[in-house]
Amino acid sequence: MIDCDAFDVLHGSSQQAPLAPAAQADFDAHLEACPACLARLQSYVTLREVLRRLAPYDQPSLEQVPLPERLVSRLMAARAAALEGGQHKQGLGS
Ligand SMILES: [Zn+2]
């Protein structure tokens, strides 16, 4: 398991180029295990989306690297899983 600092490094790298499979696995594992980093990443993703909409022409560095759809869907799935953790689903699969 990587720590939060290593996670930050991977996250930074992922903005430049897709992560190697092993690094991506570490990234995902940490994201699932660390609510703090998940929350930070969600804030970051939200901030980037807001910046892109507010200043589409004044943020070339942000504009160059589109947000990976895969990352967004992973975030949503992780968030849904975290929410479900508090309230067990019952009545499914009868
Ligand atoms: Zn962390």
- Count the Cβ atoms, other than its own, within 10 Å of residue 27: 23
What digits encode the pLDDT tens for the residues 46-69? 888 888 788 656 555 555 566 677
What CA–CA distance (Å, rounded) separates 28 from 47?
21
Q: Are 49 and 72 a contacting pair, CB within 8 Å?
A: no
Q: 87 or 47: whose pLDDT is higher? A: 47
- Average pLDDT of the chain, as a whole number: 82
> 38 C-alpha vs ligand 1 centroid, how far in Å?
7
Determine, yes or no, domain membership for 11: yes
CA–centroid distance, 58 to ligand 1, in Å, is 31
Q: How many domains does the chain have?
A: 1
Query: Rounded to the nearest whole angstrom, what is the distance from the C-alpha of residue 60 to the centroid of ligand 1?
Result: 29
In a domain, 49, yes or no: yes
Flag whether 58 is in a domain.
yes
- The answer, yes or no, to whether residue 32 has pLDDT greater than 90, is yes
- Where in the sequence is the domain holding 29, given as residue range(s)? 4-84
pLDDT at position 18 is 92
pTM above the 0.85 mark?
Answer: no
38 assigned to some structural domain: yes
Note whether residue 94 is domain-resident.
Answer: no
Q: Per the domain annotation, does 89 fall within a domain? A: no
Distance 93 CA to ligand 1 centre (A): 34
Between 24-38, 40-54, 66-80, the lowest mean confidence (pLDDT) is in 66-80
70 or 29, which is more confident: 29
Question: Could you tell me if residue 68 is inside a domain?
Answer: yes
Does residue 23 form part of some domain? yes
